[in-house]
Amino acid sequence: MQRRDVLRLSGLSIALPTVSMAAPPIASPQPTTPQPSRSLVLIELKGGNDGLNTLIPYTDPEYARLRPNLAIAPTRVLDLNDRVGLHPALRPLMSAWDAGELAWIQGVGYPRPNRSHFRSMDIWETGSASDEVLDQGWLARALPIRALGDLPDMVVLGGDDGPARGGDLRIITLASAERFVDDARRLQPLDAPPADRTPALDHLLSKRSITSDPS
């Protein structure tokens, strides 16, 4: 899945809303309808990212000196303050920044960092220290299991379980939201006659109906 597709689909229900199953007061004559609570949407962009050309220290003279061919000109930078700004391609994020709904965190890391990409991803997904190995992801440990009947606790779109791995969360993983919707629309009830029905298929369907009859 391409990064732009992830951002475009982020408006969909990537994570299903959870519901509160709190019991109604004893004196209440009406059953309490479960109310939706907050949902967590986690967007993980795996792959390479030039951090210094994403959140740009455009007023630091060393930035331009050390990046003669890569530096973004100060006139093109979307300034956040008098020290750093965004790459011009990130202009759609500025409205959220101006509304106080977006924050940038610099220098995220951990002591004694491991130089392996794969081990670093494992550390990020499990929230472990650099000298320990954990089986469960940090999201699997942090999120409670909800009593949602047949509903999943989480939907993963275009990736693996990542930080939700190794726990008891009920997870549905979709390679593509569009393909899932298209496949669901093509599904037919078992009793609906297929377009390419043959005598052999008729025989199998009749046997299925006989063996599935509870009487």
As a whole number of angstroms, the distance between CA 192 and CA 148 comes to 30
What tokens does 63 get?
Answer: 């930035």
Looking at per-residue confidence, does 108 or 34 come out higher? 108
Q: Is the pLDDT of residue 20 over 80?
A: no
pLDDT, mean of residues 101-123:
86
As a whole number of angstroms, the distance between CA 167 and CA 154 comes to 12
- Break the chain into its structural domains and give their ranges: 1-20+136-215
Helix (H) or strand (E) segment spanning residue 85: strand 85-86
88: helix, strand or coil = helix
**Residue position matching structure tokens 């939706």:** 36
188's CB contacts (< 8 A; 6+ apart) are: 194
The answer to which of 28-37, 49-58, 125-134, 188-197 has the lowest mean pLDDT is 28-37
User: How high is the pLDDT of residue 22?
Assistant: 31
Q: Alpha carbon 17 to chain centroid distance?
A: 13
Q: 157: closest CA among 178, 132, 129, 177?
A: 177
What tokens does 178 get?
Answer: 């569009």
Tell me the Cα Rg of the chain: 25
- Backbone φ and ψ of 166, nearest 5°: 80, 5
User: Does the CA dihedral 4-7-10-11 come out positive or negative?
Assistant: negative
What tokens does 211 get?
Answer: 């063996």
As a whole number of angstroms, the distance between CA 108 and CA 101 comes to 20
Number of C-beta neighbours around residue 151 at 10 A: 14
As a whole number of angstroms, the distance between CA 138 and CA 132 comes to 14
As a whole number of angstroms, the distance between CA 79 and CA 53 comes to 13
124's CB contacts (< 8 A; 6+ apart) are: 163
Query: What does the pLDDT look like over 21-74, one tens digit per residue?
Result: 233 333 334 445 555 567 778 887 777 788 899 999 999 999 999 999 999 999
pLDDT, mean of residues 97-115:
87
pLDDT, mean of residues 183-195:
64
pLDDT, mean of residues 210-214:
44
Helix (H) or strand (E) segment spanning residue 98: helix 94-98
